[in-house]
Amino acid sequence: MKIILASQSPRRKALIEQMGMKDYEIIVSQITEKMDSNLEIEEQVKQLSYQKAKVVFDQTKGDRIVIGADTIVEKNKRIYGKPKDREEAQTMLKQLKNSRVNVITGMTVLMQNQGKTIEQVDSTTTEIYIKDMTEKEIEKWLNTGKAMDKAGAFTIQDEFCVYIEKIVGDHNAAIGLSTSKLYDIISKMGGKV
């Protein structure tokens, strides 16, 4: 069965490959990401993951599994998405340093098998404890150029790992995709990983 990842994230691509999926396709969903403030934060993230998967699912045919995902950072009910520019990234990091934040990853799996469509939407919340950071340390991280395409302007891998004090929950979900949940969902749907 064809597997399609509805994401251009190199981190999600790496996680898919860690699971042993080598024969898959990437089709990026071209949706405008809009958060629905009437929904709880977890529901918003799940909705975005569903929209991404559904657009790609509707563009494709045949027996297939489409995987969509979205990740946000939340602190005190405030959502931190991808920064628009360096200044916003710096502001985010100043607000997130020396605190516990939640990294919430929504994931949608849509499968069509012999004309039958099955869908599963889920989310995973991982607690990340970020150390205090000096202005110089924030600038050093920003100078890597890796903050701009990350929710909250940080990542738990790469050079930023030295500022992560503790992770409680699903490490891979915090990177961008819960591989254990994805495996379970596909297995329950009757697909093979």
Which tens digit of pLDDT belongs to each residue from 117-174? 999 999 999 999 999 999 999 999 999 999 998 999 999 988 999 999 999 999 999 9
Instruction: Report the pLDDT averaged over residues 180-187.
Output: 94
d(CA 132, CA 126): 19
First to last CA, the chain: 10
| Cut 0.95: pTM above it | no
Q: 2-61, pLDDT tens digit by residue?
A: 999 999 899 999 999 999 998 899 999 888 777 777 888 999 999 999 999 999 999 999
SS3 at position 169: coil
Q: 80-130, pLDDT tens digit by residue?
A: 999 999 999 999 999 999 999 999 999 999 999 988 999 999 999 999 999
| 158 flagged as catalytic | no
Give the distance from CA 179 to its chain's centroid: 11
Range of the domain at 98: 2-189
Give pLDDT, residue 154: 97
Say which of 58, 63, 70, 122 is annotated catalytic. 70
Q: How many domains does the chain have?
A: 1
Residue 103's CATH number: 3.90.950.10
